[in-house]
Copies of this chain bind each other. A is one copy, B any other.
């Protein structure tokens, strides 16, 4: 099976997430990184490209899109790993040339950009994959499958949270800088950066949409322009209720994304920092701890897992699963087919929902926590 030729926009030397995408693309050997426009200046882009030994390095993404589209051996897909405000403009260039796009979240920094990007995707033959990576964890798939199978009954309550502590104080390093700048990150701070992950995870596992929400956002660190803590009450389609907490000022929390879902027959619980475990608590029975590929785990987890139970897989493997799902879909598309039904990845509409979520949080909080619809 031929490897997919991949380009990359953003992800220069000092960017955290670019390296993650590159490793994720390598793990299952379905991609070959051959081109890049890795930084916002030609000089940095070239330096980063050389350091990575890339065959083709471009000064900017538009040049890359144009030239790669013309080559016979041009890239099949591009990974866009820039700050959010660049996503729309960059993605558009590749989509309109039929190059598949794998885009980091958040989808865009504004709702209007998000809507334009939806149109761009709908107008293109190319696929659009959003790396809401946490849905790539095998035990998240297991949870989703169990909920879909009715194992916990009709859903009543969803508790989801994503606390971190890295912005507890005013920071000036690069990762912190653009993520707290509304011009580049969007109107949401913690809501945009990690609240969207929590929101997407809840949607993915439950299969429910958030219809309305009430939010109380804060910027606790003096001078911060975007929220660093968000409290949100949720109302889902079908009557389920939820709470969502995101924070970047909760000392002792690294990436403590955690979800609990309760139905009228049982509950499930999953935590990102210990991702190989899933608690299943059928009402009236002892709690059960299901492990990745262990007893009680099923096909949904197994097809995205590489090794037997008891040997942990982590964040990079979960991220790689998004890439592998994308590879399945891209390969199928190249053959003029649809991917198999079990192939699932976050798409443009998941991205739109995320931006709508941030927009709704900000609107609600400005109106003193009034309920707003998404």
Contact = CB atoms under 8 A, between A and B. Distances in A.
Contacts of A182: none
A312 B314 contact: yes
Interface centre among A252, A276, A306 (most CB of B within 10 A): A252
A260 B249 CA distance: 13
B164 A316 contact: no
Contacts of A233: 214, 216, 231, 233, 369
A177 interface: no
A231 B152 CA distance: 21
Given A29-B26, A220-B156, A288-B288, A281 B306 contact: no
Contact of A296 (B29, B247, B286): B286
A255 B29 contact: no
A41 B134 CA distance: 41
B371 A310 contact: no
A157 interface: yes
B313 A157 contact: no
Interface string A270-308: 001111100111111111111100111000000000111
A241 interface: yes
Given A26-B26, A252-B287, A274-B274, 14 more contacts: A22-B29, A27-B316, A156-B229, A157-B247, A168-B283, A214-B216, A216-B233, A250-B267, A251-B266, A252-B279, A255-B311, A273-B276, A284-B295, A306-B316
16 contacts: A157-B229, A165-B267, A165-B283, A168-B264, A168-B283, A169-B264, A216-B233, A243-B243, A250-B260, A252-B269, A252-B283, A253-B267, A255-B309, A273-B310, A307-B316, A369-B369
Interface of A: 1, 16, 19-20, 22-23, 26-29, 53, 152, 156-157, 159, 161, 164-165, 168-169, 214, 216, 218, 220, 229, 231, 233, 235, 241-243, 245, 247, 249-256, 260, 262-267, 269, 272-276, 279-291, 294-296, 306-317, 368-371
